[in-house]
C-alpha cells in the first residue's frame, strides 16, 4: 500500500497548485473588467486636446472615449494621484462607492479610497469632511471600495477622483489624457490604425501623433497567457503521465501473460481470470479515452502572441523583453493603467512559476507512487510463487 505520508503530500501539492491557478484566473478575469484601451497624453499648450474635446460627440459615435486630467501632488507626506474625470471614465477604470456618493460636476468634491480615509481620519467617517489639497478645499463626498485588484497591486500613490470642473489652474505637472476603447471593450486587431483613420476622416486637421501614444489593446491578452501557460503545462504533464501509465500497464500485462503461458494454455488463462481481465480492459480503455482527450487539448493549445509585443523574428529573444519592459517603466506618463498592468504582470509571472513548480512536483510524486505500486506488486507476486 502507498504510505499515508506520500498520499498526504500529493494532496497538499494538488491543493496548492489549484489555489495558485485559481488566483491567476481571478486576477486575469478581474483585469478584463478594465476594457482594452489606447491612451494619448498631451502636454503643455497642445491644442489638439481641446480640439478632440470639442469633437467628443463625433468620437463617441464609434468609440468609447474619456477625457481626463492626471496630476501628482503630495498631501501630509502621502503621494497622491488626482484624476479629474468625465462621465465616461468609470467605464475605463471601474470602482464602487462604498460610503457616501459620487462627486458632483461643478462642485469641489472628491472621492477617496478606503485606505486613504483610514489614514486621514482613523477614528471618524471621512464622508462630509473638508481637506485642503494644493491650496484648494474639497469636500469628501464618498469613499470607493478597495477592490481585489487594488489590494493585489497596491499602488504606492493614493488615487483621488474629482469632477472635471474642479481643477481651475493647469500647470506643467498635469497630463491631459484621452482614453479610447471599442464600444464593447473587446480586443480587436489594428485598433490604432482604425482609430487614426476614423479621426482623419472626420477631423482631418487633428493628429494624435503630437501626443504620447500608449497602445494597451494587447495587455489583457498578454496577461492571460500566464494562466493559459499554467493550464498547458498541467495538461502536458498529465498527458505524459497517462502515456507512461498506459505503456507500463501494457508492458506489465504482456509480461505477466507470457509468464502464465509457460504453465497454462491461453484459453485456460482467459477462462480462469475473466473478471480480472474485463476489469483491466475497462481500466485500459478509460485511460486511453482520457489520454485522447488530453492529447486533443495539448494539440489544440496555442499561445496568442501579439506581434506588437514579441519580436517577429525570434520569440525567444529574452533581452528584447527585458529591455522593452525596463523602458516602459521609465515612462512617467504611463498612467495608473500601466502601473496596474506592471504590478499584475509580476503577480501573474510569480503565479506561473509557483504553479509550474507544483505541477512538476505533482508529476514527479505521481511517478514515484506509481513506481512504488509496481514494486509492491512484484513483492506480492514473488510471495505467491514461493507459496
What would the pLDDT profile of 124-155 be if each residue is shown by its tens digit? Answer: 888 988 888 878 889 999 998 866 556 555 56
Does the pLDDT value for residue 225 go beyond 60? yes
Q: 182 and 145 in one domain?
A: yes
In 3-state terms, what secondary structure has residue 218? coil
Task: Out of 202, 217, 232, pick the residue that ends a domain.
Answer: 217
Give yes or no: residues 141 and 184 share one domain: yes
118 and 158 fall within a common domain? yes
Query: CB under 8 Å to 182, separation ≥6 — which residues?
Result: 35, 36, 63, 64, 188, 191
Long-range contacts of the stretch 56-64 (C-beta < 8 A, 24+): 58/202, 58/203, 59/180, 59/199, 60/88, 62/183, 62/198, 63/180, 63/181, 63/182, 63/183, 63/195, 63/198, 64/35, 64/88, 64/91, 64/92, 64/179, 64/180, 64/181, 64/182, 64/183, 64/185
Clarify whether residues 195 and 325 are in a common domain: no
Neighbouring CB atoms inside 10 A of 167's CB total 17
| pLDDT of res. 383 | 46
Cα separation of 140 and 130, whole Å? 6
Same domain, 88 and 153: yes
Q: Is residue 56 within 8 Å of 67, Cβ to Cβ?
A: yes
Whether 191 and 321 map to the same domain: the answer is no
For 62, 196, 201, 279, the CA distances from 59, given in Å and listed in that order, are: 6, 11, 11, 67
CB 149 within 8 A of CB 96: no
DSSP-derived letter for residue 291 is: H
Q: Are 92 and 34 in contact (CB under 8 A)?
A: yes
Q: Are residues 195 and 288 in the same domain?
A: no
Mean pLDDT of 229-236: 86
What pLDDT digit, counting tens, does each position of 351-370 carry?
Answer: 888 988 888 888 888 777 76
Return the DSSP state at 196: H
Is the predicted pLDDT of residue 182 greater than 50, yes or no?
yes
Cα(64)–Cα(183) distance, integer angstroms: 5
Q: Do residues 24 and 50 share a domain?
A: no
Task: Decide if pLDDT at 281 tops 80.
Answer: no
Q: What integer best gives the mean pLDDT of the chain?
A: 76
Pair 236, 355 in one domain: yes
- Structural domain count, the chain: 2
Specify the residue for cell string 483621488.
Answer: 160
Give the range among 77-81, 163-167, 225-229 with minimum mean pLDDT: 163-167
Residue 169 pLDDT class (50, 70, 90 cuts): very low
Q: Which three cell numbers stand for residue 319?
A: 533581452
Residue 380 pLDDT exceeds 50: no
Q: Which of 172, 194, 217 is the last residue of a domain?
A: 217
**Domain of residue 182, residue span:** 38-217
Statement to judge: residues 197 and 267 lie in one domain: no
Residue where a domain stops, chosen among 191, 217, 243: 217
Residues 177 and 263 occupy one common structural domain: no
pLDDT of res. 180: 92
Amino acid at each position: 500500500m502507498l504510505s499515508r505520508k506520500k498520499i498526504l503530500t500529493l494532496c497538499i501539492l494538488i491543493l496548492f497548485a489549484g489555489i495558485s491557478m485559481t488566483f491567476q484566473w481571478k486576477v486575469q478575469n478581474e483585469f478584463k473588467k478594465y476594457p482594452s484601451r489606447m491612451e494619448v497624453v498631451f502636454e503643455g499648450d497642445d491644442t489638439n486636446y481641446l480640439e478632440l474635446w470639442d469633437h467628443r460627440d463625433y468620437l463617441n459615435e464609434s468609440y468609447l472615449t474619456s477625457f481626463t486630467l492626471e496630476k501628482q501632488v503630495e498631501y501630509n507626506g502621502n503621494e497622491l494621484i488626482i484624476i479629474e474625470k468625465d462621465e465616461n471614465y468609470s467605464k475605463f477604470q471601474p470602482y464602487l462607492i462604498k460610503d457616501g456618493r459620487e462627486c458632483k460636476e461643478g462642485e469641489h468634491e472628491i472621492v477617496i479610497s478606503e485606505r486613504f480615509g483610514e489614514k486621514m481620519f482613523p477614528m471618524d467617517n471621512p464622508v462630509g469632511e473638508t481637506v485642503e489639497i494644493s491650496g484648494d478645499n474639497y469636500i469628501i463626498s464618498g469613499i470607493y471600495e478597495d477592490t481585489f485588484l487594488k489590494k493585489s497591486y497596491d499602488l504606492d500613490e493614493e488615487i483621488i477622483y474629482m469632477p472635471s470642473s474642479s481643477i481651475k489652474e493647469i500647470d506643467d505637472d498635469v497630463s491631459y489624457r484621452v482614453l479610447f476603447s471599442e464600444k464593447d471593450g473587446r480586443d480587436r486587431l489594428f485598433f490604432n490604425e482604425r482609430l487614426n483613420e476614423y479621426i482623419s476622416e472626420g477631423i482631418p486637421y487633428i493628429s494624435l501623433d503630437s501626443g504620447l501614444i500608449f497602445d494597451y489593446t494587447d495587455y489583457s491578452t498578454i496577461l492571460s497567457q500566464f494562466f493559459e501557460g499554467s493550464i498547458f503545462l498541467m495538461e502536458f504533464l498529465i498527458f505524459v503521465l497517462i502515456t507512461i501509465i498506459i505503456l507500463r500497464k501494457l508492458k506489465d500485462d504482456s509480461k505477466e501473460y507470457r509468464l502464465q503461458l509457460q504453465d497454462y494454455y491461453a484459453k485456460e488463462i482467459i477462462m480462469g481470470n475473466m473478471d480480472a481481465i474485463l476489469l483491466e480492459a475497462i481500466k485500459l480503455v478509460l485511460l486511453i479515452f482520457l489520454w485522447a482527450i488530453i492529447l486533443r487539448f495539448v494539440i489544440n493549445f496555442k499561445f496568442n502572441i501579439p506581434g506588437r509585443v514579441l519580436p517577429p523574428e525570434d520569440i525567444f529573444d529574452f533581452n528584447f523583453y527585458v529591455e522593452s519592459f525596463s523602458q516602459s517603466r521609465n515612462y512617467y506618463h504611463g498612467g495608473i493603467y500601466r502601473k496596474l498592468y506592471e504590478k499584475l504582470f509580476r503577480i501573474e509571472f510569480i503565479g506561473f512559476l509557483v504553479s509550474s513548480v507544483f505541477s512538476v512536483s505533482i508529476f514527479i510524486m505521481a511517478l514515484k507512487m506509481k513506481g512504488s505500486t509496481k514494486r509492491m506488486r512484484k513483492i506480492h507476486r514473488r510471495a505467491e510463487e514461493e507459496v
